[in-house]
Amino acid sequence: MMFHSRLSSMLNRHYSTKLTHTDPTTGEAKMVSVANKNITQREARAIGYILLPPETYTLLEKNELHTAKGNVLGVAQIAGIQAAKQTSQLIPLCHPLLLDKIDVNLRLAHDRVECESIVRCQGKTGVEMEALTATNVALLTVYDMCKASSKKMVIEGIRVVEKSGGKSGSWQWDS
């Protein structure tokens, strides 16, 4: 119960009291206009991880899980980068953005592969969705490439942990 109260407190800070992607009268979906927004440096960082069974983790740790599709973490990194560039094609109301930087980093940590994605652009809207998409797809790629070893993997903890730029300024997930 304490967790939910704390989470609710964190989630209710610095936010609008209305949904921006729906018409307030009809509830119909709409794309937000960014016509009058200023172009600013925008950056977002998202993280997540995939829990692995011990035998799958060991294969990755020994770098023995080179599948027919290639090296797992290398392919997952490229998949995350590609996904960030395709976000507006996957999420219906996202604006297409010209991205300046996409970093997707994966690393082995105890019983999991952790992923951190950082996306940056000069634009009129934020890049949180691009960072989240990169992290999600990178971790899905790890699952895809490791499923021959085991299907008992769980993707968790995907979230934006930091963003900067735009009218709302900087924001960081308070741990």
Q: Which residue has the tokens 């996306």?
A: 119
Indicate the residue type of 96: P
Total residue length of the chain: 175
144 assigned to active site: yes
Contact 52, 153 (CB under 8 A): yes
Q: Which of 100, 103, 144, 174 is catalytic?
A: 144
Nearest to 52 by CA among 151, 145, 136: 151
Indicate the residue type of 23: D
First-residue to last-residue Cα distance in the chain = 17
Tokens of 76: 């997952």
Give catalytic residues, as residue numbers.
Answer: 144
